[in-house]
Amino acid sequence: MRDIDQYFHYKEEPVKSCLLAMRNYLLHYNPNITEAWKYRMPMYCYNGKMCCYLWIHKKWGQPYLGVVEGKLIEHPDLLEEKRARMKIFLLDPSKDLPIKELNKILKQMVKIYQ
């Protein structure tokens, strides 16, 4: 099994299902978004440039979408925390993905890389 597949495989439910749903969502959002294993995490690239990643918040144990150029994106649910460049979008693994909000964020993200 590839490292990236192991990352998802060994997560506990419901976080595992949430991350897998996000993985599928990202890979089908835009044909120019591809998946890579970088920095020991699943990274998503737009035309080869790193644009976002999936991770779990250390303090809250919640999965999140990290947006590399998050500082350039305006959305009330994107958290900056102590990051200079990136922002994160926390996901609730016990609920359906907030597709409407994700679409707003990814639309802005893709625009940065086009």
Domains (range + CATH), the chain: 3-113 (3.90.1150.200)
Per-residue model confidence (pLDDT) at position 84:
86
CA distances, 97 to each of 19, 39, 104 (Å): 10, 25, 13
Please say whether the beta carbons of 112 and 69 come within 8 A.
Answer: yes
Where does the pLDDT of residue 78 fall: very low under 50, low under 70, confident under 90, or very high at 90 and above?
very high
Where does the pLDDT of residue 82 fall: very low under 50, low under 70, confident under 90, or very high at 90 and above?
confident
Where does the pLDDT of residue 49 fall: very low under 50, low under 70, confident under 90, or very high at 90 and above?
very high
Q: How far is CA 4 from the centre of its chain?
A: 14
Whether this prediction's pTM lies above 0.85 is answered by yes
Using one digit for the tens of pLDDT, what is the confidence trace for 13-44?
A: 999 999 999 999 999 999 999 999 999 999 99
Neighbours of 59 (CB within 10 A): 6
Look at residue 83 and tell me whether its pLDDT is greater than 90: no
Average pLDDT, rounded, for the chain: 96
